[in-house]
Chain A
Amino acid sequence: MSTNEKVQAAPQKASPDTAPQNGLPDTASEDDFYEEEFTPGEADGGMFGAVASKKAQHFWPSAKRLLGLLKPERTGILAVFAMVAVAVVLNVIAPRILGQAMDVIFGGVVGKQLPADGNKEQFVAGLRAQGQNNFADMLDRMNVIPGVGIDFARLAFLISVVLLMYFVANIFLWLQGYVLNVLVMRVVRRLRDDTEKKLNRLPLNYFDTRQRGDTLSRVTNDVDNIQQALQQAFAQLVNSALTVLGIVIMMFIVSWQLALIALVALPLSAVAAAIIGTRSQKLFASQWKNTGDLNGQIEESFSGHDLVRIFGRDADMLARFDERNEALYRASFGAQFVSGMIMPIMQFVSYLSYVGIAVVGGLRVASGGMSLGDATAFIQYSREFTQPLGQMAGMANMLQSGVASAERVFEFLDAEEQDPETATEHLPAKTDGHVEFRHVTFSYTPEKPLIEDLSFTAQPGHTVAIVGPTGAGKTTLVNLVMRFYELQGGSITLDGVDITRLSRAELRSKVGMVLQDAWLFGGTIYENIRYGNLDATEEQLMAAAKATFVDRFVRALPDGYNTVIDEEGNNVSAGEKQLITIARAFVANPSLLILDEATSSVDTRTEVLVQKAMAALRTERTSFVIAHRLSTIRDADTILVMEAGRIVEQGRHAELLELRGAYYRLYMSQFAGEDADQVLTEDATTVHS
């Protein structure tokens, strides 16, 4: 999905906490990868539900290490904790004071009803004498001055205190949020930088042996997920846990009887949340799996739309779509219904304790066991109680998924790195490109030997062509020159220096490489050419573009060199992309040139022209050329014929044809179906014409 089509992902932070369970993962940021290779197993839900269904394998070690990331910010974190603690304490005490304010009002109401000529004790005694013991007890506990109404001075004082407390608490909440955000972003930024640096230190076979999509998702999605977990869940969890603790303590201080009632609700709602939570998590997993399946099918049907029409499979596709669409409907209905039940049921449990507190509190106030203010404070406590509980459940989920992501990122960060640099020597200022392979042995996996005991020499200024069937090790051979992989035996020297004694950067800066798949960065054509040499002047860039026939087609593009190469690459054909990569290598001006199927997608007439340009580039330079089209390599100084990791023949075109061996067979096969001799004569005439 192209980036410009992306719908912005829901700012998750801004969504109300009320529905922690129904988070649709923001597919927008994940769908970047839809074209990456992945195994079908991963594709199911992997794209869309990865975060939701991930579980850490070693939860605690990974969680510990995740927290370890925060270590450099220790002081800040401690300050945050302190601020949260202050805010929570104030927030928890405030309702109690509000309760006292309530008592002042209630006391005033009762006081006003009493005649002003007497004191409270007399009235209480009088009531007891009348047998109204309950009312007497209540009055006894109240701060009542008969005949006097509400004590507004005291009320104003209490309200001011409460407001001040809330104000301070909120200031602290705001401060801690601010500080925590800064700290977390610092940590996440470091983590991102670390992952990126790690990328540069990994050996290439790390990428060869893994799904590209998986690595990508580790360094992008998983890091994003960690950021979210730290930013949102971490702070909330601390806050909620402290709040719950504070409220429980306050409840017991106010009235242990009511506290017990409220606490009955705690396990009740925990059990309810756990039962529904597990159930809905399963249903959500199924929803994401079905979503993945269906989206996969939509992607396929739309991407392969032409084929569907050509083969007339519309009805079939529709039927399959309907089936999956129905399955998704059933799964998502189940998930939404069950998860939607969490709120009402949690609320019900909270109402239960509300009713319990209202009744028992009412009875106790009536009997003078507690004040009305305490009862109202209690109601507020019990209400504030359920909210952080629900939050904690949601945050725990998020944190769990964050830890699972952290585990995957740590795995990536712990991956074995390429051999450290052991540079002890330098190349002379002017290299002449003398390359020698001495008894080189190499394989990607120990079980499958690929190159064994391979030796050859490339003279300065010579063109070495490498031919052979797919899998013979041609690309591997040139990769070894670049030191993309380390040898298992033997050595390769450049100008007499063993390449392992050079730093990789120095070695590679001498080599220009044009790779099989013409890969360009998202950016303009100009930027892509310049990538070969960031210091190149405008003239050098233009000269390279002209020499490689990039200039010719670029001029025809409406935006010229500013044409942006996008992923779809609809604006530039495969052949044109190859030309750009050749221009890129031109600009680098290397002493050693490696062309790996550099012109396979260029149409043959253009290729001839490019060949001419490359011939110019190749003079004075040693070059390695890999090509399928034998016409491309006939004029090489040396042709290496490779089969199964070995050089089976070596020599010039004419010599090798005379041998009537592997090269001859390879050469002839491209004209199979025609009269081979006729081609040869024709060939001979054109060569000599």
Chain B
Amino acid sequence: MLVTLIRRYARPYLPYIVAVIIFQLASTIAALYLPSLNAQIIDEGVARGDTDYIWRTGGVMLGVAVIQVATAVAGVYFGSKAAMAFGRDLRRGVFRKVTSFSAKDVNVFGAPTLITRGTNDVQQVQMLVLLGLNFMVATPIMCIGGIFMALREDLNLSWLVWVSVPLLVVVVGYLVVRLMPLFRSMQKKIDRLNGILREQIIGIRVVRAFVREPHETQRFGAANQELTDVSLKIGALFVLMFPAIGMILHVSTAAVLWFGGQRVDAGEMQVGSLTAFLQYLLQILIAVMMGTFMAMMIPRASVCADRIGEVLDVEPSIHEPLTPTVPAGRSGRVEFRNVSFAYPGAEAPVLSNISFTAEPGQTVAIIGSTGAGKTSLLALLPRLYDAASGEVLLDGVPVTNLARSDITTRVAMVPQRPYLFSGTIEHNLRFGRPEATDEELWDALTTAQAEDFVREKSQGLGARISQGGTNVSGGQRQRLSIARALVTRPKVFLFDDSFSALDVATDARLRRALKAKTADATVIIVGQRVSTIADADQILVLDKGQIVDRGTHEELLDSSSTYREIVESQLSTEAAA
């Protein structure tokens, strides 16, 4: 997958990559040429006392150094450009793909992992590409070029290269292989330790209420000990790395001097060549060392690439109709016809055989215990999911035949978990209809019983909302979420247990105000409190995915035992007890 991804997303930047290769080739050759020039200074200049030659060659060296730096910088320029553009495009690819997902597709992965894949994983792959372009081209050139140049200086010493290079690879490779799992384990221990602290802080009241401080301290101490143990293990191995590498380099140097010295003595090699060989060998070994380090990144990036690939390969399960039907009217009539629905992988259907009609101006309420399928039912209308069988009709047209825009302009939903985006209150309220005026926003806030607390904020509509809406209370979040739906002026309102965090008085006021605002719209309410739904035109009692009873409050009090149970549980604890 890594290769596929890189091939696909790096293709547009092929010219840059070619430029990187050319410039790095040039800069590496220049770098490799320098020791050779130095050798010439010694052999031709120093040994013969030819000062002119020394000056001349020095000038050439300077020129080569300038070329080296210029080409290296150019290489970095194109390398960074290509790698960053690659990352940008890959990120865009993931984002676009996920945006086209249905709720079902999102659930297959879960939002958190999609976020990781879109951010962290892309970054990892991008980093590999960057380092790859900046080093992985130069490193092999340096290595092969170094070997070539070294052999040119003296072929008979080449065995030193063949011995020292594998030795270095084996030593570094061994340490890295041993270290990698330890690093992973250390990261896990750190996560665990931090997890414990995090729990202690978030659950501090529980910890203190149950006097569990000693227990927590002990738990933390154990985790701390574990982390320390792993860190010590890592340390013991890791500190071997540089002394070992250093030793290999130094022994190689000594070997070059010893064996080279014999060849020089035999008159088969020049002294300058000896020094050049020495430097080339060091260059080769450093290149090998870098290459080994770089290679460590590949497995990790490859895991990330696989995870990204999984996202990119998904075929979104909900498609726009190719030739959408344009509904005749815009009244907001909703009809469910024998609708059944099951979550992917689940055995039992969440909804089976649901049929009902909600006319404009009507309020349909849905009540039932947790897990009865209330939320899933609402999700079918805006096509967060598609029904497995049966039809969901909006203004007489099955939603699967409607253009997305025809649905979104008609239906507004207040989800169970009210989610706000970071930004301002204003920006959140305008989310569904950016062109709404300030008056319309205030009007919606008034209806949603949110006017007071927004007015109290010094910045009013411009007050900051943090991500998810965590800086306002649950009740305020719910009311802002209701206001957001009101601003879009839809024909169908879906309230998914949207009043649960409000105290009873606010709840009552809000419902009264809403009634006026939604007079000619279709309203479908999911609720827990009987008081919230008692005045609905039609109440559907949902149990295990089926409508077990339907009717008005009064009718159901008579006819439905389930409904009566629910009502009684809320009105009189004593009676039930």
Contacts and interface: CB of A to CB of B under 8 A. Distances in A.
B112 A2 contact: yes
B438 interface: no
Contacts of B204: 199, 204, 207
Contacts of A345: 69, 73
Interface in A602-646: 603-608, 611-612, 615, 628-632, 634-635
Interface in A134-173: 134-135, 138, 149-150, 152, 155-156, 159, 162-163, 166-167, 170-171, 173
B258 interface: yes
A250 B405 CA distance: 77
Tell me the interface secondary structure of chain A in the complex: helix
Contacts of B215: 534
A604 B572 CA distance: 11
A441 interface: no
Given A224-B190, A307-B415, A336 B84 contact: yes
A417 B574 CA distance: 46
Interface string A35-49: 111111001000000
Contact of A631 (B179, B221, B572): B572
B68 interface: yes
B111 interface: yes
Contact of A32 (B195, B470, B504): B195
Given A43-B422, A196-B200, A484-B205, A355 B61 contact: yes
Interface in B99-121: 99-103, 106, 110-116, 118-121
Given A362-B42, A673-B512, A13 B238 contact: yes
B246 to A, nearest CB: 5
B202 interface: yes
Interface residues of B, number: 195
A508 B114 contact: no
Contact of B95 (A26, A318, A351): A318
Query: In the complex, which of the residues A306, A316, A632, A674 has the most CB atoms of chain B within 10 Å of its own CB atom?
Result: A306
B573 interface: yes
Contacts of B571: 631, 682-683, 686
B160 interface: no
A519 B206 contact: yes
Given A305-B103, A531-B210, A310 B471 contact: no
Given A159-B257, A167-B247, A312-B409, A358 B95 contact: no
Contact of B411 (A10, A11, A310): A310
Contacts, number: 533
A634 B116 contact: no
Given A337-B81, A366-B45, A672-B512, A199 B201 contact: yes
Interface residues of A, number: 195
A344 B76 contact: yes
Contact of B80 (A1, A28, A340): A340
B325 interface: no
Given A5-B112, A634-B573, A24 B565 contact: no
Contacts of B511: 673
B123 A155 contact: no
A672 B467 contact: no
A623 B315 CA distance: 56
Contact of B65 (A352, A482, A513, A521): A352
A1 B113 contact: yes
Query: In the complex, which of the residues A132, A326, A673 has the most CB atoms of chain B within 10 Å of its own CB atom?
Result: A673
Interface stretch (B48-56, B142-150, B349-357, B516-524): B48-56
Nearest to B200: A199
A603 B369 contact: yes
Contact of A109 (B87, B92, B264): B264
Interface string B547-577: 0000000000000000001101111111111
Interface string B456-496: 00000000101110110101000000000000100000000
Interface stretch (B163-171, B229-237, B331-339, B439-447): B229-237
A91 to B, nearest CB: 8
Nearest to B220: A196
Contact of B130 (A135, A199, A336): A336
5 contacts: A105-B265, A305-B98, A313-B432, A344-B27, A606-B369
A104 B123 CA distance: 54
Nearest to A600: B500
A195 B193 CA distance: 12
A195 B201 CA distance: 12
